[in-house]
Structure 1
Amino acid sequence: MRRWFLALLACIALPAAAQTFPDRPIRIIVPVNPGGGTDIFARALQEIIGNSLGQPIIVENRPGASGTIGVQQVVEARPDGHTLGFVWNTPITSAPHTLGTRYTIQSIAPVFQVGYSPFALCARPDFPATDLTSMIAAIRARPNTYTWGNEGLGGVMHLGVERILRQLGLQMTTVPFQGAGQTLPAFLGGHITFFGGSLVGAMPAVRAGTARCYFLTTVGGSPAAPEGSGVGSLGLPEMAITIWWGMIAPQGIPADRMAKLTETFTTAARTPRFLEVMQAQGATRELLVGDAMGRAMRAEYDALGEVARSLGLQKQ
């Protein structure tokens, strides 16, 4: 009788225990080194949420292989809601084409996208241009003379900008780096002609007056770079490409847990405090949640796959 009673108590207690989430710290894997926009935004969300979920949130940097190492850890994690990833788009929409990743876009559950920033090509003040039109004219007049740095061969910026350059008939030499932490010093030191990267990465030089970002890859311009123009001014709005940031998860997280995570993190992302963080980095807040983020991911994935094939960078 006593054994039956204890078993009954265990059955009653099970649903309550199962509903306790999270029951340990939540880990956010950030697949880049500390200090860049991806890391800054992830840690801002961490600080805003604090311990409101009843458990601490831990940000772990897992850089390497254009972010694919960290993303692989996310998709292989147990789908219980305790492991998430905060990423930018390269390891999601371009690296699977150009690096031959073990995961696919179907392996990734989109949670939400927080916003975006243009990629930019920025010149030093002594470059013979005053706007995008004169910058293009200078490049066209001296084909294969100038160099531009980017976030890495086969990354979102490389593929997106190369597509635009080809459409415009501009010929420059691509120099790959591993993020703005390498590209910006090379640009400021005169080792490459143009800084290429997110506008977020260029902001220290823009504020110091040592970079003028004439070429923006959004359709329109940006208040953070008032001298710049977007590809819409060139009649190429369909070729716009941005760096965006968002949260992903492994596939298979129970719906109630995913809903709780989504509500908590998107509420934090909508706060004035988070908006200030994004604006300070020259980024635009734009939330895409769940399926909306997933559709945008897949559209960009397909478009960049075509570019990778045209450049001979597609890996099986």
Structure 2
Amino acid sequence: MTTISKFVRAASLGLALASGLSAAVASTYPDRPVTLVVPFTAGGMTDVLTRQLSRRMQDELKQPAVVENRVGAGGIIGAERVAKSRPDGHTLLITTTAHVVNPAITKQLPYDTEKDFVPVALLARTPNVLVVHPSVPAKNLQELIAFAKKSGGVSYGSSGTGGTTHLSGELLAARTGAPFLHVPYKGTALAVNDVLGGQIHAAFVDALTAVKYVESQKLRAIAVSTAQRNPSLPDVPTIAEQGVPGYETEIWIGLYAPRGTPPAIVQQLNRIAIGAMSEPAFKETLASQGTAPGTMDAVAFAAYVKREIAKWQAIVRDARIEPQ
């Protein structure tokens, strides 16, 4: 037998063994509780979707699905926890668009966003909504920009540094020259509380959270961040149609596993996730709050994540944000 033949045979044997081990792991999955790591505080969009997923997982997997809020550093601390976990499907990450933004705004991540995670499923997507306290003398974007320039600045809250709610404001400031002053929070709920209390002027908030406050007139919606208006807020114009052409951002929530997680487990989790988001009553609730459930398989979601990383690198560059 030639050296090349021996090498090919050894490689084939290695692949077969690896495949066999993966199949063995998948066949007994899960054999203990599954931990869903959420790198933000409870009460926001990510937490709402995670609670829904955990209920569905427990029903189908017959094991507890425990939600762990590991807060800090714009989602990096929670992501690192999952990246360094065993790739057996028992520790998973549920996080926002911040996950694909962080490579563009952070000089040294403790993991590789593309190489250390397996994208499993897109859970849901929704526009960012620019909301203000009713005392702010602005009913549209141009009035808000004029107020910001006249008063010396408008403070806006976000769910944390580096997320789309933060960068939506930075991009708007860069495109308009208006002094929007960022105030980061450890989650959407905390940012909304301070707008409601009048401690800050405004916030970029996901539609799932924003709609109920807008409908109750506790907050005023100035604009949505997507290219088209949102069906749940049909009277709220986009930022683009209010004088900032080409402006578009969106928030979405994704489910990830550590690199090396067996494909069979990834496919199983993708099926459960899509099923959880598509439960009729929950889907109807999402739709009423301007949010669409994900439907991609794992392969399509992986390609989507790759495109989003490149997209946000361009947005960060356009907004002239220096990596920290």
Q: Under a length normalisation based on structure 2, what TM-score does the superposition of the two structures give?
A: 0.81
Answer yes or no: is the 8 Å Cα contact 1:41–1:277 preserved in 2: no
Q: Cα distance, 1:211 vs. partner? A: 0.9
Q: Cα distance, 1:115 vs. partner? A: 1.5
Q: Which runs of 5+ in 1 are unaligned?
A: 1-13
Q: Does the C-alpha gap of structure 1 residues 305 and 251 become closer, same or farther in structure 2, counting only changes over 3 Å?
A: same
Deviates more, 1:53-62 or 1:65-74: 53-62
CA distance in 2, matches of 1:249, 1:56: 17
Please show how residues 50-61 of structure 1 align to structure 2 within 5 Å.
50-61=58-69
Answer yes or no: is the 8 Å Cα contact 2:83–2:259 preserved in 1: yes
Q: Cα distance, 1:226 vs. partner? A: 3.6
Q: Does the C-alpha gap of structure 1 residues 82 and 185 become closer, same or farther in structure 2, counting only changes over 3 Å?
A: closer
SS in 2 for 1:206: helix
CA distance in 2, matches of 1:280, 1:44: 16
Q: Cα distance, 1:72 vs. partner? A: 1.0
**Aligned residue number for residue 93 of structure 1:** 100
Q: Give the counterpart letter for 1:125 in structure 2.
A: P
Q: Cα distance, 1:128 vs. partner? A: 3.2
The reply to whether residue 145 of structure 1 matches residue 153 of structure 2 is yes
Of 67, 75, 78, the match for 2:83:
75
**Aligned residue number for residue 215 of structure 2:** 207
Count of matched residue positions in the alignment of Structure 1 and Structure 2: 300
SS in 2 for 1:195: strand
The reply to whether residue 262 of structure 1 matches residue 265 of structure 2 is no
Q: Cα distance, 1:222 vs. partner? A: 1.9
Q: Give the counterpart letter for 2:131 in structure 1.
A: C
The reply to whether residue 292 of structure 1 matches residue 297 of structure 2 is no
SS in 2 for 1:287: coil
Answer yes or no: is the 8 Å Cα contact 1:111–1:247 preserved in 2: yes
Give a deviation string over 1:185-212, Cα, whole Å, max 9, x none. Answer: 2222222221222233334432331211
The reply to whether residue 168 of structure 1 matches residue 147 of structure 2 is no
CA distance in 1, matches of 2:72, 2:179: 30
Q: Give the counterpart letter for 2:268 in structure 1.
A: K
CA distance in 2, matches of 1:29, 1:16: 25
**Aligned residue number for residue 9 of structure 1:** none
Of 129, 134, 148, the match for 2:138:
129
**Aligned residue number for residue 40 of structure 2:** 32
Please show how residues 246-257 of structure 1 align to structure 2 within 5 Å.
246-257=254-265
SS in 2 for 1:105: coil
Give a deviation string over 1:295-314, Cα, whole Å, max 9, x none. Answer: 33233322333444553431
Q: Under a length normalisation based on structure 1, what TM-score does the superposition of the two structures give?
A: 0.83
CA distance in 1, matches of 2:122, 2:22: 32
Deviates more, 1:119-128 or 1:249-258: 119-128
RMSD across aligned positions (CA)? 2.7
Q: Does the C-alpha gap of structure 1 residues 175 and 265 become closer, same or farther in structure 2, counting only changes over 3 Å?
A: closer
Q: Which runs of 5+ in 2 are unaligned?
A: 1-20
CA distance in 1, matches of 2:59, 2:45: 23
